[in-house]
Amino acid sequence: MQDKYPALSLKETQRAIKLCKDTAETQLSRLLSLERVTAPLLVEAGSGVNDDLCGWEHKVTFDLGKCPLRAEVVQSLAKWKRLALWQYGFAPGEGLYTDMNALRPDEVPDALHSITVDQWDWEKIILPADRHMGMLEDTVRTIVRAIAATKATLRAAFPVLEEALCDKVHFVTSQALYEAYPTLSPEQREFEITKQYKTVFIEKVGKPLPDGRPHSDRAPDYDDWDLNGDLLFWSGAIDRPIEISSMGIRVNAESLLSQLKAAGAEDRLRHDYHRLVAEGTLPLTIGGGIGQSRLCMLLMEKRHIGEVQVSVWDEQTRATCRAQGITLL
């Protein structure tokens, strides 16, 4: 790592952000065969389309003036994308991506978390025969190739960025990771495995482990908990992992009903999205989200997400960052 921090000036940082996002978007679109579509910022409150994340987060909700409706700011587009693929008439092997912006007011802001979320939400139609872990792992490798190509482009434009990116993915299930480090917390397990292998995909996230808790909470109505996972990269700038993507093969009718029952959320079947999945009307898909600011932070060797994203930070955070030579945008 560079002795001088930050390696890039504020103006260079802005140029690098644009180059990083433009390059990554182009690479992802090309390698995954995705077409860009317009994304909503708002959805109708109570429609069941918004991402419920872990289930306890509060959505930003408000009245629409004199209109008798309430709107929610999206938390992600996990369910909306699958509906869009169906409504727009996409075929198997075709997919879409969106430039998604969201608000998550319950996030606890820190070096990796902000209440402002920006990510590429993507979704692709697959066939029944594609619903297996091999398909998921091949897709993960493709995404890592896109990220590695983006890093190479950044390093060519800004030679001061010296940290290499490992493009070989280590796959491990959450169960195997638990068995390897049974006394550690999920975050500590992620630290140990990513420090060792640098680029890691933790599979099968959502089901309870032997201690009764999942590796990470997952909503029961979009990812199939047996066919999903999280992609992490080791950051030398902060000496810890950065989760760049959560993704998976989506629920079919069987796994949706099973997971809703396990989560005590069978009442969601009243929503159109859930009914269409349960009836087998919506296409089978694979998809996920790729954090834009986190990717910039990783590839630009930054120490705080606020160096690549404009958001709201408390004064203590600002003072701590100033003391460490970190300039928040």
User: Which CATH number goes with the domain that contains 118?
Assistant: 3.30.930.10
2 within domain boundaries: no
For residue 3, tell me if it sits in a domain: no
Asked if the structure places residue 140 within a domain, the reply is: yes
Any domain includes 136: yes
Catalytic pick among 27, 29, 119, 245: 119
5 inside domain: no
Buried b (16+ CB within 10 A) or exposed e, 75-105: bbbbbbbbbbbeeeebeeeebbbbebebbbe
Structural domain includes residue 328 = no
Q: What is the pLDDT of residue 1?
A: 45
Residue 226 annotated in active site: no
Out of 25, 27, 29, 51, pick the active-site residue.
Answer: 51
pTM, to two decimals:
0.90
Look at the chain and count its residues.
329
In the annotation, is 51 catalytic? yes
Answer yes or no: is 95 within a domain: yes
Catalytic residue chosen out of the listed positions 221, 223, 224, 230: 230
Is position 230 annotated as part of the catalytic site?
yes
Instruction: Give yes or no: 52 in active site.
Output: no
Cα separation, 174 vs 83, whole angstroms: 29
Q: Which of 235, 246, 293, 309 is catalytic?
A: 246
Is 243 noted as a catalytic residue in this protein? yes
User: 7, 161 in Cβ contact below 8 A?
Assistant: yes
12, 107, 163, 243: the catalytic one is 243
Flag whether 270 is in a domain.
yes
Distances (CA, A) of 32 to 36, 142, 144, 235, 286: 12, 7, 11, 25, 11
Are the C-beta atoms of residues 329 and 293 closer than 8 Å to each other?
no
Q: What is the DSSP letter of 180?
A: H
Query: How many structural domains comprise the chain?
Result: 1
Concerning whether 44 is annotated as a catalytic residue, the answer is no
User: 10 Å Cβ neighbour count for 282?
Assistant: 23
- pLDDT less than 50: residues of the chain: 1-2
Per-residue pLDDT at 107: 77
Query: Cis omega before residue 6 (within 30°)?
Result: yes
Q: Which of 25, 72, 104, 174 is catalytic?
A: 104
Which range of residues forms the domain containing residue 288?
Answer: 10-323
